[in-house]
Structure 1
């Protein structure tokens, strides 16, 4: 329920002018011509117009007032921010992207019908030639193949099911080795904006009011939710639910803050993967049984998964898209760089 803010002065031009005319006999009885052609009446009209303008301004809650009120709540205005966005790098005529290293500050040219703007990458990124061909969510209620929803603009799907319970998992199947000629893998996660939870302090929990470069959120916090990234080390699917066939994978950076916001997840290369040999974690064609959807695998995918170790999402995360080779860019000056392969 909003409060009714009283107006300091609700008189308009006509009321102010009429009040001034009524005072003429009191203060200037010799002034008898009160018609509009009289110069004195012209001055009264001018002063009435000024009084109405000043009264209107005094009766407003200005931006300065709002800043003062927000300051009482401990909120400060953000400084001007450069334009930012995300760019997905696709394979060009030169061939494979595997191992292509983009340093931080790599120039990116945006051409909008002749209007050119230069951007630069926010952080260093190593590209991969692998493709994300299967996306599967697995919960206590069953399994869902979300590959089509992940590939179709405008569709979304719950990453860990409708409840995001503990032990729910999101499986990613790759065609090709995502770590070929690279020591890391970046996965861009875009969440449905209307399902995002605004960041804020939790009791005495430390709260960073500075905005994050990957999010429009007003700050960051330490969530009570915990997730773990793993990779499959067995070629078959008979032991899909056996925890022994999944090994932890290094998590270098979680820009999603445990799927609380859109961002980039950077995974380190599994230590057991030998770059000179065919990785042992290539899944063979087969069928994943168990509760829910029976998943027929017709390609030798390499599988990663994200498991909810400790649940607690206020709103279960809803994913619009998972993408590879997506880099964050910001508007600004660029410098000459050299593209290299890791």
Structure 2
């Protein structure tokens, strides 16, 4: 009973803390409330985020701001065509005594900003696969564990295709959310211009430290989920598979490949965190619907007919919901 009480108290504290986090981030990032909410959700679910948007929408600034409100070690990796895997994970070098010594790369941090991740070849992108799934790095047969919490927040430009490489499906599947940043509204852009063209620069203060984040991550895992919510999440994923018995006509007509079991897992755990952020102790179907597009967007593949008919992935997802 005492444990339950303490978890309820921690859930209330989590709700208050998430409001403080958003308030601090909003000092620097104007608008984009949904994106901020989903990035924080991914962090508390031990997930990774891919932010897609045209240049100038503050993708990098958003990640820098989130790193500043969380008292964590932050590293930025600028992905370029000549970047090598060893530039990310590190490499072994000879020391003065002619012994091999492992020099850690920038991947050894709590928050990694993978800037313009699609500008480097798949060989280098694959250097992130083990770290994102296993939270470890293997070099010359030796396994080096990464300090938790560990998040990869990657950015990508959707319109410039020259000199870019498509992310492999295995890499895309490692990302919990694929978030699309749209242009700000007229009022938001007015506020952005007013706030960023003066001598006063807003500063976001630190709100959380490493131990608190780990405690909240553990709390999210403990949130109870009703069976009907789990069934809804799994059924939704099955609807994306054209050959599934649950597949509606739109999936059979327009989808080549559907989402895998990892999508079902992410739907449930993200719904848990979304419920806590809205001061609820257990998620409902509305929480699953709120995060479903970001979980499914990069996990379903349209066929040629969908492209010919101009049917987007988001349109298909909204009809499945």
The bucket for the TM-score relative to the shorter chain is under 0.3
Greater RCO, 1 or 2 (C-alpha within 8 Å, sep 6+) = 1
Structure number with higher strand proportion: 1
TM-score w.r.t. the length of structure 1 is 0.21
Q: Which of 1 and 2 has greater Rg? A: 1
TM-score w.r.t. the length of structure 2 is 0.22
Structure number with higher helix proportion: 2
